[in-house]
Chains A and B, each alone.
Chain A
Amino acid sequence: MSHEWPLFEVFIRSRSGLEHRHVGSVHAADARMAVEHARDVYTRRLEGVSIWVVPSAQITASDPGEAEALFEPARDKVYRHPTFYDIPDEVKNL
């Protein structure tokens, strides 16, 4: 494996109405092959009805070194959590 294919991130929608979720990644030479690999690796047990693949290099990630600046300020703002409402049991997947 001296010359690795580029990495693609894989997102699977498990059934209609739900969102695509990140499930892992595959190596592939191009996007079409990435969909096939994702199908073969991640949907062998009927896990999905839709696949997205995105070149991993296209993802811009936050810097762990900036975690404090990015996320700490939200820590003391509990009033942003909607925990003061009753959710009806009928509402799923909220």
Chain B
Amino acid sequence: MSAPEPGDALRAAQLRYVLRLADTSLVLGQRLGEWVGHAPQLEEDLGLANLALDLIGQARLLLTYAGELEGRGRDEDALAFLRDAPEFLNLTLAEQPNGDFGHTIVRQWLIDTWQLQLYAGLSASSDARLAAIAAKALKETRYHHRFSSGWLVRLGDGTPQSHERMQQALDSLWRFTPELFAADEVDEVVCRAGIAPSLAQLQPAWSAQVDEELRAATLARPPAAPHPWYGKRGVHSEHLGHLLAEMQHLPRTFPGARW
């Protein structure tokens, strides 16, 4: 990159911001896709696949936009299939393995509640393209949240075994939640430009909603986790590389393959 002008700095931050949103949806969608053929019931199989398709649809819109912002001729496929793990900017939480059904539900619910706040804020973005994508995604996310919060309560307030496993899932995934609201210079630049809502302002509403739904699910909120993660800066847990290997194998082995 050449020496950045002030306008270039904003555009670069905007690009990274859009990629973070896109990659979080893409990676989470890919994870949910792993359930296809393995879910506990045929109907849940379809339900999880529907969530995955919504998320991948969001990722396609966002990646296409990112490619245009970047201006180097990369389309959605090039960005999804030809970048390596350090170039992916998804939240670390999104790439965590499916685990048991309870892990998948807790991961989904944590991201759904986050996306609810975020997309609602982004619907008022000064960036009309991003606002339109967020408005569409918000409708989808409301259903995702209905699905995941329903399961959270059903299993959390279910049998002793289901309760225990949900609490375990929550305990193991909670440490990734600080990253959801950890603002860095990219977030600050796009927030100042009116492109994105302030993460610090979204956090209390998210926290209150999480508390309320955890109460309904009779689950205990784990203690605050000090360790921040940096997936959105390209520093990932060991799981993302394996996910990408599976997701990217075919387009990389057979470039331009169609069927």
Contact = CB atoms under 8 A, between A and B. Distances in A.
A1 B46 CA distance: 16
A70 B150 CA distance: 44
Contacts of B47: 36-37, 40
Interface in B28-51: 41-44, 46-47, 50
Contact of A5 (B41, B50, B147): B41
Q: 6 tightest A-B contacts by CB?
A: A37-B43, A40-B47, A40-B46, A40-B50, A26-B43, A41-B46
Interface string B9-41: 000000000000000000000000000000001
Contacts of B139: none
Interface in A9-47: 26-30, 32-33, 36-37, 39-41, 44
A26 B43 CA distance: 7
B43 A29 contact: no
A80 B147 CA distance: 49
A30 B154 contact: yes
Interface size grouping (class) on chain A: 10 to 19
B43 A41 contact: yes
Interface of A: 1, 5, 26-30, 32-33, 36-37, 39-41, 44
Contact of A27 (B43, B146, B150): B43
B41 A1 contact: yes
Nearest to A37: B43
A69 B223 CA distance: 69
Nearest to B45: A40
Contacts of A29: 154
A28 B154 contact: no
A32 B151 CA distance: 10
Contacts of A44: 46, 50
Interface of B: 41-44, 46-47, 50, 143, 146-147, 150, 154
Contacts of A36: 47, 146-147, 150
Contacts of A40: 43, 46-47, 50
B46 A33 contact: no
Nearest to B40: A1
B50 A28 contact: no
Contacts of B42: 27
Given A1-B41, A27-B43, A33 B154 contact: yes
B153 to A, nearest CB: 10
A87 B201 CA distance: 63
10 contacts: A1-B41, A27-B42, A28-B43, A30-B154, A33-B150, A36-B147, A37-B46, A40-B43, A40-B47, A41-B46
Nearest to B48: A40
A1 B41 CA distance: 8
Interface centre among B41, B146, B147, B154 (most CB of A within 10 A): B41
Contacts of B44: 37
Nearest to B51: A40
A44 B147 CA distance: 16
B147 A27 contact: no
Contacts of B50: 40, 44
